[in-house]
Each structure stands twice: as C-alpha cells, then as structure tokens.
Amino acid sequence: MLKKPAVKAAVKELDRTEFAILDEILAARKAAGLTQAQVAKKMGTQTPAIARLESSLATGKHSPSLTTLRKYAAALGKKVELHLV
C-alpha cells in the first residue's frame, strides 16, 4: 500500500498522533494474534470494514469514531483511554 505515491505522500503528511494510534492498533492486534477477519467477527462486522479502519488511520482520509475505536479495542481485549495534555 505504501508503494503507491499518493498513499506514501498522505502518510508523510499525517499528524504524528494519528500515526501513533495506528501503530498502537496494529501492535495490539498482532499481540492478540488476531487477523483482520477475526477482529471483524468479534466486532460483528466484515473484514473489509477492518481493512478500511486500519487504512483510514494510515491515510488520514477518515477518522474513525470513538465508538468504533472502542469496539475494535474490545475485540482485542483492550480499552481506549483518551488523555488531554
């Protein structure tokens, strides 16, 4: 995906905070040993929805809702914490 010039350019423009969220999400899914399909099943959705969620964080084209992030986290046995600093 990052081989596409448009995607690569979008990633470079990302705010580091959004990229950090993507890093955490992907690391948590890997640590849980789950595929996108398994996360989708636990969330009651389809695999392409999880792919779009992860992709949206990588491209910055769409910000998932807090509710969606909570469902994703719950599927991994995690929770979302929001802090203002």
* 60-80 residue pLDDT tens: 777 888 999 999 999 999 999
Looking at domain 5-75, does it have CATH number 1.10.260? yes
For residue 6, pLDDT beyond 70: yes
* 14-59 residue pLDDT tens: 555 566 788 888 999 999 999 999 999 999 999 999 999 988 877 7
pLDDT reported for residue 12:
65
Domain boundaries, the chain: 5-75
Our CA dihedral for 62, 65, 69, 75, rounded to 10 degrees, sits at -110
